[in-house]
Amino acid sequence: MILAIETATDVCGVALVRDQSVIAQRVLAEKYVHSEKLLPMIDEVLRDASVSAKHLDAIAVSIGPGSFTGLRIGLSTAKGLALSLGISVITVPTLDALAYAFFRTNVGTSAVAVVCPMIDAKRDEAFFCFYRIDAAGVSRQSEYAIALKSKIVEMAPPSVMFVGDGAKRMGASKEFDSSKQFNPSIVCSAESVGLAAETVGVKQSREELSTLEPLYLREFVATQPGSVGAASPRRVSTLEGRHPGELNHRSG
């Protein structure tokens, strides 16, 4: 039984999954509440399922890319729970979980051959990756990356389906030709993280947990406490995090 955590975007979610079934879940789509709401949501999910934390086999967590703060909150919570319970952490790249969500909801009903999950990265940019979808499952076709949304669309093959919050409002734009499809209703969820973790997630050892970092893909600048404006910025590189896993799932 896996407890899954999703905090990579504005969606804060917790789900309890077992054998590709969702036992219980809670979802809150609200900004800036992850640190306050995540632990109570975990308690609520366990209570809803009448399950004690000691019966969990692993904690699955969305490892990124996504919100810097959200990813930190999710990963630190997963680490703390796993260490206290003596169980494993299973990491799932957030874009993989989005691709898996599309596969699960469209298997057998869609002719789409390529899906491109997009997570909004602000400044007209998005985190993205291309995946091939067929009846057998999902396979990743490119590296995880960040680019301007317009450039991502230019790179995409014909008849691609864009999903995730990074695809919002893009379908209504005259900038993109009609061969491109957009479905922003498929967003990050703890349910997809947990179900993907059962088949494609990467189990981290206790030794690896101490150095495990989120998959950020982009540098950011943090100012020193007490500094004024940008006079004394401290540049924090987020490009050196270890690759926590990749999707190459073929269901059987």
Distances (CA, A) of 141 to 111, 113, 197, 221: 18, 11, 19, 31
Q: Give the residue among 198, 187, 246 at the shortest CA–CA distance from 23.
A: 198
Residues 194 and 82 both lie in one domain: yes
Residues 99 and 70 both lie in one domain: no
**10 within some domain:** yes
- pTM, full prediction: 0.84
Q: Are 189 and 149 in contact (CB under 8 A)?
A: no
Q: Are 83 and 104 in contact (CB under 8 A)?
A: no
Which amino acid does the sequence have at 190?
Answer: A
Total structural domains in the chain?
A: 2
Q: Which helix (H) or strand (E) holds 234?
A: strand 233-236
The parent domain of residue 9 ranges over 2-93+188-215
- Residues of the chain above pLDDT 90, percent: 63
pLDDT tens profile 77-135: 999 999 999 999 999 999 999 999 999 887 656 567 899 999 999 999 999 999 998 88
Residues 181 and 195 both lie in one domain: no
pLDDT tens profile 51-63: 999 999 999 999 9
pLDDT tens profile 131-153: 998 888 889 999 999 999 999 99
Q: Are 25 and 35 in contact (CB under 8 A)?
A: no
**26 within some domain:** yes
Q: What is the mean pLDDT of residues 1-6?
A: 98
Q: How many CB atoms lie within 10 A of CB 24?
A: 17
Residues 167 and 206 both lie in one domain: no
Q: What is the mean pLDDT of residues 38-47?
A: 97
Residues 9 and 116 both lie in one domain: no
Give pLDDT, residue 231: 34
Task: Specify the 3-state DSSP secondary structure of 213.
Answer: coil
Please report, to the nearest 10 degrees, the dihedral formed by the alpha carbons of residues 234, 238, 239, 245 taken in order: 170
Residues 53 and 170 both lie in one domain: no
